[in-house]
Chains A and B, each alone.
Chain A
């Protein structure tokens, strides 16, 4: 590729351009745009059903947006020849066969991506599953499945990481490990990290930038420091920006009477 270094350094690693997607007339994502630069961690936040997963799936070519596009290093994900060596992605919920051993899951991915199968064992060690890797996934805890999925995303040593709720099911130690891991990836290896999450306290300690969406639309995109500058916590800012008033504020009999 003949691209000047200057161009490379200023091109966003991830670029979401005006993505719109409806499922049976219901708007899931309604014109979301943002960018993620190399060497930074961006927290992708929003209430349940805000459209985070749909946006990420559009970016990864699993869902076809009605309009708009997602680009990774300037190309559509589906146009990248060996996507795993460029982008590592962990999707929401588990995408694992319970009857397959963790190590075999990784080896299948290695095979398909043309990566030597020896990477599977290296990655198992990295995510702390060396022992468990020999067992069938059906016997894994939620956190172990999450770590195995993360392992699969690391096989190709990508420079872009896209993670949908990676903290789900992790214990405090796992969450702490994830935080250090993401910081290492972004700040030492120069990886562009896009991570969606609900755990705001955790996000607050990890990310550099935040993108907040609600009802399929962007409501905030800035550096984390900028959002919390006025002394407001991320939690408060998040509620102020995204609250729809749809959750009951009172409970029990009192709530029913009102």
Chain B
């Protein structure tokens, strides 16, 4: 497995897409943080020294997860797009092992993305609180859980991306499907004012993820009361990652490569 992991890591880091997506994740997260920063500083805002500001700001670090999802998708679909999958399966005819290596690599790359965003974005949040004269009350805002959940969310999302990529295989279709899912399908479940719909929604991957990194006092679109308990959400996400990889291995195992 180690040789395959080395190969997958080298594949990921020898084309430009990883740092483009990492920059995108940082830029998008930065934009959202900047928005929170200005809203908090406005006349009727809570003020950047308040606990409310911290509760609003820390969960914003998870905004880059969409790009983690995309890099996971691309880790598989570029192989079909450029037909390198032929070479990959010539070297390793047991296709399930390749998918397994991709999933582990995805987890590593995703966690790497999460750590980078957490360190850079987290420093910015901390600096903005401290420079406003606030105190870094990590316990009050559950910062360790929020940041830890955020980093895990990047890892899980990248793994789910690999599953989606292996299922869909067409690069454009897979990316578009992911974006529609994240920006339309899941939000729709949360917006419909119907308890059944919202309960179903709370099990959706993106929303289960949100319960890992959201703060109970924050309200950034969804009502946190709808979230699954953290441990249930974590189990559900492991379930999704397993499901995605099983589906991926199953559909990849016997298919003819054209």
Which residues of chain A have a CB within 8 Å of any CB of chain B?
A: 57, 60-64, 77-78, 80, 83-84, 89, 91, 93-101, 104, 107-109, 111-114, 152
Contact = CB atoms under 8 A, between A and B. Distances in A.
26 contacts: A61-B89, A62-B89, A62-B257, A63-B257, A78-B94, A84-B91, A91-B90, A93-B83, A95-B82, A95-B84, A95-B85, A95-B86, A95-B87, A97-B82, A99-B16, A99-B17, A104-B10, A107-B10, A107-B14, A108-B7, A108-B10, A109-B7, A109-B91, A111-B3, A112-B3, A112-B91
Nearest to A92: B86
A80 B85 CA distance: 18
B135 interface: no
Contacts of B16: 99
Interface residues of B, number: 27
Please report whether the interface of chain B is mostly helix, strand, loop or mixed according to DSSP.
helix
A94 B15 contact: no
B91 A64 contact: no
Interface of B: 3-4, 6-7, 10-11, 14-17, 78, 82-94, 254, 256-257
Given A84-B91, A112-B7, A62 B14 contact: no
Contacts of A62: 86, 89-90, 256-257
Contacts of A63: 256-257
Contact of B86 (A91, A100, A107): A91
B15 A97 contact: yes
A83 B91 contact: yes
A106 to B, nearest CB: 10
A89 B254 contact: no
B7 A61 contact: no
Going nearest first, the 4 A-B pairs with the smallest beta carbon separation are A112-B7, A111-B7, A104-B14, A78-B93
Given A57-B257, A83-B90, A97-B78, A113 B15 contact: no
